[in-house]
Amino acid sequence: MQARLEEAAQCLLVIIGATPEGKKELVGLIDGVRESAQSWKELLLDLKRRGLAMGPELAVTDGALGFWQAVEEVWPRTRGQRCWVHKTANVLNKLPKSQQSKAKRALPEIWMAETKKDALAAFDALIETWGVKYDKAVECLIKDRDALLAFYDFPAEHWKHLRTTNPIESSFATVRHRTVRSKGCLSNKTALAMIFKLAEAAEKNWRRLDGHNQLPKIILGVRFTDGIEVVKPKAQAAAA
């Protein structure tokens, strides 16, 4: 998540995680540069120093290249999920207005599909429809195909939390409003302290994640396909 601070290039870098009980918590907050891998790396390393010994199974964010580069270096096994809200906006920006309403109807057919197979079929259909005339929009979509569909390998109850960065965007709407109103009145240090206090207060009202009972399974390495737990045959489980 980003919220502009005093200097034009600086933003607020935020990470929200979840406990095994599904409680959302603010785990990282610093000022930095959105596209800077170094800024994000400093934040991720700070999490490790503070006790996050095991890297996340999945990181959900927009297309900030700095974040992805830092994750690959600090937690190479962490998978990425691209935010569908941001990706939709990116694709629409590369289409003429005459096609945007069609795209708004077509794109949800991908991420709302019941199975990954159906999502890939909708993906291919959309590419075939736009491929010749709107190659830039198609390229924007194709380049993140795997990261856009990573959520299918997690519990179905979690999908609505994983397909977008809305938990951060909505949680920090008030914070963004306050920082915009205070623009030019605060130093970065003072603004950061104010933002932390606002976020800390907002955290008390954050809703618990759906399907929190599935989180321990994710931590233990249980596999999911199309949102459903993969149950090993008893003989295979005993051998394992």
Residue boundaries of the structural domains of the chain = 1-82+165-209, 84-155+213-240
pLDDT given at position 9: 57
The encoded tokens of residue 139 equal: 């390229």
* Gap between the Cα atoms of 160 and 167, Å rounded: 10
According to DSSP, residue 17 is labeled: E
Is pLDDT larger for residue 67 or for residue 197? 67
What average pLDDT does the segment 13-25 reach? Answer: 87
Asked whether the beta carbons of 43 and 32 are under 8 A apart, the reply is: yes
Closest to 40 in 3D by CA, of 80, 9, 79, 73? 73
- Dihedral angle computed from the Cα positions of residues 219, 225, 226 and 228, in that order, rounded to the nearest 10 degrees: -70
Is pLDDT above 60 for 84?
yes
Confidence grade of residue 171 (pLDDT, cut at 50, 70, 90): low
- Can you give the pTM of this predicted structure? 0.84
Distances (CA, A) of 79 to 38, 61, 71: 19, 11, 9
- What does the pLDDT read at residue 172? 66
Among 165, 196, 172, 148, CA closest to 28? 196
Q: What amino acid is encoded at 52 in this protein? A: L
Confidence of residue 166 (pLDDT cuts 50, 70, 90): confident
